[in-house]
Chains A and B, each alone.
Chain A
Amino acid sequence: MNWWPHVVSLEFRKILVFRTEFWVTFLGQSLVQLVIARSLWTAIFEQQNVSEINGFTLPMLTLYYVIVPIGSRILTGENLGFLSREIYEGTFTRYLLYPLSWFQYKTLTYFTYSLFYAFQLMIFFVGYKFYLNGGMSLFEFGNLFLGIGLFLISSLTYLLISMAVELLSLWADNIWSLMVMLRFFSNFLGGALIPLAFFPKEAQVILSYTPFPNLISLPARTMMGLTSGQEIFQGLLVIGFWAVILALIVNLLWQRGQKKYTGVGI
């Protein structure tokens, strides 16, 4: 697989090629999201005149919102429509012509973006910790790397969820709304919009059997030092189980769907 590092390198070069886009993605987006979340939660804490809501203090919630917007970008890797748009436009043809597996190629390109966002999360997390506490303990560094690792593992599971939806474009030309719905639900059920601790207890139990909480909430709380080893192990088991199911679904969809591919536009 000599081409693997070249694909990763090529995708990194694509990320770096547009300076403005790079800095807006790297700094702008996350700072804006952080400021909005911080302002909103400050107002809620002041209005309710409490120091803690559902186990979260304001600094903890702020840290949570440093992590989750970038964390959800680690999950979603390459852009929305990374497969369906190419199938729709016919550029997917490229991967059918080259002597390689399109699945491996798209996984690598997707994962390259996840790595880029993982690096971004590290910078923001360390920066925030230094701003807040003036430094970080070894234990906190350990949590940081464990959380980043969990995000990266989760991104591969989310990739399979995305593929299962995006491959539907081999049957229905335009599935944009499905992908937007998927992103919204995975963010909502994964705890990217509000922490899962704010959900009703029954909902939290049901959700724990789905991949979603383990995709965002589990890695984010691990970075904050709020999870136990057992909780992490259970989370990995759940996403591992779903990854196997999803891989089977993706394989089935591809086996059937490729016969429908017409390479439109060429």
Chain B
Amino acid sequence: MIKVTGLRKTFTSHKKEPGLMGSVKALVKREAVLKEALKSVNLEIQQGEIVGLIGANGAGKTTLVKILAGIVHPTSGDATVLGFRPWERDNNYRKQMCLIMGQKNQVWWDLPALDSFLLLKEIYQIDDARYKYNLAFLAETLMVQDQLKTQVRKLSLGERMKIELMAALLHDPKVIFLDEPTIGLDISAQKAVRNFMKTYQREKRPITILTSHYMEDIKELCPRIVIIKEGSFVYDGSLSDVQKMLGDEKVLSVTTEEKTFKVHVPRAELSVKTQEILSSNNVIDLNIQDPSIEDIIESIMRFGVGHS
């Protein structure tokens, strides 16, 4: 399991004024800026769970994943994954986890995927039978049997992502960190990756933490979500409960001659508010809907749980 207690991480960066003078000044004196990427967060995830980590850019999602994957040291607090402190980088921990990043390649770019897989087989000490079985299972499920002997750099983005998934899962990790796995993929490739992850999660039951900006990924894969805002968790619970949070609200989508906007309105005030909008604007179109998950999460990310 994953257990995170009071985990904090601060980064130091340097401010530079724009323009040439700013660059010259920065040569002599720089202003250090301390950014608290994680503010004492707590989390527990059980074996077999898949948790969606949601937040705006810079909210701290990737920092948390980097700490749990052992890439980055925390400033304070503690975390254990399968009983190991990730940043101590015990080989027994690293043999049981993987990190898949949608924007970074881990397989060797200039070589066919099979060459990289053979090296990974030795690095992770995968026995022949398990290697053959996993290779066949992953290649078949991801439908990339014909791409394994092609130089990775010559594959399409979607094919490369599938190869990355294969490389990361060859050793049957018990913990999977998926950072934006569908970023930049077309719709059918996104769907293929999602379907694959569903099948994999059902069959192998790893702990999975998924960060994604695509709500489709979250909706299809994650029964539990954690919403992170400016380094703090503002929601940790089931995805279905999120929908209930705004159960007594309706969303008015209004299109006027000037603009389109959305208004969240309590059910009791629906009739009054609708008349008010119709009388005070040149309304072209008006739609009354239940709030979508995207609306609710956006609302939580902007205003917190209490205001949603």
A residues adjacent to B (C-beta < 8 A): 2-3, 6-7, 10, 13-14, 17-18, 90-91, 93-94, 96-100, 258-259, 261-263, 265-266
Contact = CB atoms under 8 A, between A and B. Distances in A.
Interface in B27-70: 62, 66, 69-70
Interface stretch (B18-26, B92-100, B130-138, B268-276): B92-100
Interface of B: 11, 62, 66, 69-73, 89, 91-92, 94-95, 97-99, 101, 103-106, 108, 110-111, 115-116, 118-120, 122-125, 151, 179
Nearest to B125: A2
B62 A266 contact: yes
A266 B95 contact: no
Contact of B11 (A2, A258, A262): A262
A96 B122 contact: no
A261 B106 contact: no
Given A7-B119, A13-B115, A90 B104 contact: yes
Contacts of A14: 108, 110-111
Given A3-B122, A17-B111, A91 B104 contact: yes
30 contacts: A2-B122, A6-B122, A7-B119, A10-B111, A10-B119, A13-B111, A13-B115, A17-B111, A91-B104, A93-B71, A94-B106, A96-B70, A96-B89, A97-B70, A97-B98, A98-B120, A99-B92, A99-B95, A99-B123, A100-B91, A100-B123, A261-B71, A262-B66, A262-B72, A263-B66, A263-B72, A266-B62, A266-B66, A266-B101, A266-B104
Which 7 residue pairs spanning A and B have beta carbons closest together? A3-B122, A99-B94, A99-B91, A263-B71, A99-B95, A259-B73, A6-B119
A248 B230 CA distance: 40
Contacts of B118: 6
A48 B164 CA distance: 64
